[in-house]
Amino acid sequence: MNWQGFLDFMINFRTDRIMEQLTAWNVGDLAHNHYVLGSFALAIATTYFLGWKTISGFIVGIGGFTYAVSYAVAEGTGPEGLSGTGIWVLIGGGGAAVMLFIFLIFVRSE
């Protein structure tokens, strides 16, 4: 692969193209889909009570990231960034997911 081929490949990772693809996949609906939320809650509860705290922490991290991305896509983005309260939900929810992730994996040890 030459340099121009690499640059042509990297053009796919521009923010506007990524947001277009996430919108095409209807990722914005994941935050409101009861089956997705219930699946994450069930998987977290099952792994936590089985004693698999590390796996539970990873699922919390993945679930928090999925919620943050779906909320960002649902709110929409523009030149000014997220509109309304979307940025505060991303910061607060992302911070809570990261803190819970760190607690479950590193702090709470057996």
The answer to whether 44 and 67 are in contact (CB under 8 A) is: no
Q: How high is the mean pLDDT of the chain?
A: 77
Confidence of residue 76 (pLDDT cuts 50, 70, 90): low
Q: What is the pLDDT of residue 81?
A: 56
Angstrom CA distances, 58 to 2, 51, 102, stand at 37, 13, 10
Residue 39, pLDDT above cutoff 90: no
Q: What is the pLDDT of residue 19?
A: 74
List, for residues 84-109, the tens digit of each pLDDT value: 666 676 777 778 878 877 887 787 65
Taken in order 70, 43, 99, 61, the sign of the CA dihedral is negative
